[in-house]
């Protein structure tokens, strides 16, 4: 176990790291990698299935990125984890669990164990086609119960851990994701596309893109000038193309596909609002990225997003119903004063609450206590 006098040898155990495919990897990269590497008195290693040349990355079982995913990765990790701990002299181990994360079957020897939850299988099983993932809840619960400390990335996720996993409310701390304001920021002299929305994310049911496209069919019935730009790729792309063609909204719903990271900030600045229609989110990183660009959010009033978006101040939270959601899109995009006021409030919310340096300091406090 670590003491105040001995150096901190910290191992970060995760299936997803860099290059990241989702919020879990981005959280680790933005806060842990950017914040922890080079910290005096801290030796940090990242044990992951990711292949990269980043300082401190220990790549293991890379094939699980393509076969078996995090389940097979967890099985193999449990077999070799004690060896890694001894070899690298870790005294603290931070494990990222939950969907896409790592399951532990027993507590590793000789380390303080911290487990982080970006979201849970309980939350994910609320998605209609993913109810079967409840089978992973016992493994996930066991991993959390082995921990000396637990970190949740939002109040919503903490509530699930306490209410449904039976964890001690005092034993779960919250450290939200952050936004890199050198990467996401307002651009000067950028022409806004009139009556425009932007969706950023994977084209899958959990992200709510099917719901949003159906909403757009109602929106266009009342206001033919509103346009939705969809950034991302996924299994629902063919369905979107077919639906928009069939319902005559192809000119109002534009598929951007993959957009290079350097151009994402440009797109945030081009549109009047960003829409987040997810069934649930562990947090909602897309929302704070857009807010950092002075762009308001129109979001489903659901877990994670309700922690980020302040209704009627930094954006609008709407029940997951096609008619009301369509009406709010029309209302917001036809009110320039509202857009400007919410965008300004959103920007300062990010500056005050989601600076990466502050999040790194919070984590260091939790880890070293």
Q: Report d(CA 327, CA 220) in Å as an integer.
A: 11
pLDDT (tens digit per residue) in 58-109: 999 999 999 999 999 999 999 999 999 999 999 999 999 989 899 999 999 9
Cα 2 versus chain centre, distance: 30
- The more confidently predicted of residues 127 and 212 is 212
The CA–CA distances, whole Å, from 78 to 46, 86, 104 equal 16, 14, 6
pLDDT at residue 43 above 90?
A: yes
- The rounded distance, in Å, linking the Cα atoms of 253 and 93 is 45
Domain annotation covers residue 184: no
Interior CA angle at 275 toward 210 and 313, to 5°? Answer: 145
Query: Is position 183 within any domain?
Result: no
- Please state, for a pLDDT cut of 90, what percent of the chain lies above it: 82
Q: What is the mean pLDDT of the chain?
A: 93
Residue 189 maps to a domain: no
What's the confidence (pLDDT) of residue 113?
Answer: 96
CA atoms within 13 A on the CB side of 156: 20
The pLDDT confidence band at residue 333, using thresholds 50, 70 and 90, is very high
The answer on pLDDT for 3 being more than 70 is: no
Q: Are residues 220 and 349 in the same domain?
A: yes
Which of the 8 DSSP states describes residue 33?
Answer: I
Question: If pLDDT is split at 50, 70 and 90, which confidence band does 5 have?
Answer: low
- Decide: 359 and 175 in contact? Cβ < 8 Å: yes
| Neighbour count for residue 86 (Cβ, 10 Å) | 11
User: Do the domain assignments include residue 187?
Assistant: no
Span 137-146, average pLDDT: 95
Model pLDDT, residue 148: 94
Torsion angle, CA of 169/73/17/151, rounded to 10 degrees? 10
Tokens 């797109």 appear where?
267
In a shared domain, residues 233 and 174: no
For range 332-348, the mean pLDDT:
97
Instruction: Please tell me whether residues 225 and 115 are part of one structural domain.
Output: no
The H or E element spanning position 178 is none
Q: Copy the structure tokens of residue 73.
A: 């990765």
User: Is the per-residue pLDDT at 237 higher than 80?
Assistant: yes
- The whole-number average pLDDT for the span 333-343 is 97
pLDDT band at 1 (very low <50, low <70, confident <90, very high): very low
What CATH number is given to the structural domain containing 166?
3.40.50.2000
Domain check: are 210 and 262 in the same one? Answer: yes
pLDDT digits over 252-299, tens only?
Answer: 999 999 998 889 999 999 999 999 999 999 999 999 999 999 999 999
Residue 36 has pLDDT above 70, yes or no: yes
145 plus 203 within the same structural domain: no
Let me know: does 9 contact 89? Beta carbons within 8 Å: yes
Distance CA 82, CA 87 (A): 9
Per-residue pLDDT, averaged over 129-155, amounts to 94
Distances 56 to 42, 76, 112, 333 between C-alpha atoms, Å = 12, 21, 20, 46
pLDDT at residue 4 above 70? no
Spatial contact of 30 and 354, defined as CB atoms under 8 Å apart: no
- By residue range, what is the domain housing residue 219? 196-353
Does 307 reside within a domain? yes
Q: How many domains does the chain have?
A: 2
SS3 category, 224: coil
Maximum Cα interatomic distance, the chain, rounded to a whole number of Å = 67
Q: Are 122 and 164 in contact (CB under 8 A)?
A: yes
d(CA 26, CA 49): 15
Between residues 336 and 40, the one the model is more confident about: 336
* Co-location of 133 and 69 in the same domain: yes
Give the CB-side neighbour count of residue 354, counting CA atoms within 13 A.
Answer: 30
Is 0.85 surpassed by the pTM of this model? yes
Cα distance between the two ends of the chain: 11
Q: What are phi and psi of 311, to 5 degrees?
A: -60, 130
Taking the C-alpha atoms of residue 85 and residue 140, their distance in angstroms, rounded to an integer, is 22
Average the pLDDT over each of 97-101, 311-315, 331-335 and give the range with the smallest value: 97-101
**200 lies in the same domain as 117:** no
Q: How far apart are CA 290 and CA 346, in angstroms?
A: 9
In sequence order, which residues have a C-beta less than 8 Å from that of residue 102 and are 6 or more positions away?
13, 14, 15, 70, 73, 74, 77, 95, 96, 143
**Do 319 and 241 share a domain, yes or no?**
yes
């Amino acid at each position: 176990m670590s003491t105040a006098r001995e150096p901190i040898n910290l191992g970060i155990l995760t299936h997803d790291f860099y290059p990241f495919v989702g919020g879990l990897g981005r959280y680790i990269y933005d806060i842990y990698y950017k914040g922890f590497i080079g910290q005096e008195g801290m030796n940090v290693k990242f044990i992951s299935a990711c292949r990269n040349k980043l300082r401190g990355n220990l790549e293991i079982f890379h094939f699980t990125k393509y076969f078996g995913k995090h389940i097979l990765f967890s099985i193999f990790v449990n077999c070799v984890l004690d060896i890694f701990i001894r070899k690298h002299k870790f005294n603290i181990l931070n494990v990222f669990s939950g969907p896409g994360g790592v399951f532990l079957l027993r507590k590793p020897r000789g380390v303080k164990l911290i487990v982080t939850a970006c979201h849970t299988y309980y939350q994910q099983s609320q998605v209609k086609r993913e109810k079967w993932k409840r089978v992973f809840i016992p493994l996930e619960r066991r991993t959390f119960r082995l921990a000396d400390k637990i970190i949740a990335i939002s109040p919503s996720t903490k509530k699930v851990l306490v209410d449904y996993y039976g964890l001690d409310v005092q034993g779960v701390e919250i450290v939200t994701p952050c936004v890199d304001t050198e990467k996401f920021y307002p651009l000067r002299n950028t022409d806004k596309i009139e009556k425009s929305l932007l969706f950023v994310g994977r084209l899958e049911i959990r992200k709510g893109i099917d719901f949003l496209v159906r909403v757009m069919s109602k929106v266009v019935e009342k206001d033919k000038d509103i346009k939705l730009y969809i950034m991302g790729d996924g299994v629902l792309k063919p369905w979107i193309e077919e639906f928009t063609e069939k319902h005559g909204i192809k000119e109002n719903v534009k598929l951007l596909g993959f957009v290079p990271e350097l151009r994402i900030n440009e797109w945030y600045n081009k549109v009047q609002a960003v829409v987040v229609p997810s069934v649930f989110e562990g947090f909602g990183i897309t929302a704070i990225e857009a807010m950092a660009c002075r762009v308001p959010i129109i979001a489903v009033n659901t877990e994670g997003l309700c922690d980020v978006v302040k209704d009627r101040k930094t954006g609008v939270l709407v029940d997951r119903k096609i008619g009301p959601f369509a009406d709010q899109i029309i209302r917001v995009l036809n009110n320039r004063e509202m857009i400007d006021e919410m965008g300004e409030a959103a920007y300062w919310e990010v500056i005050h609450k989601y600076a990466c340096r502050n999040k790194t300091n919070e984590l260091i406090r939790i880890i070293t206590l």
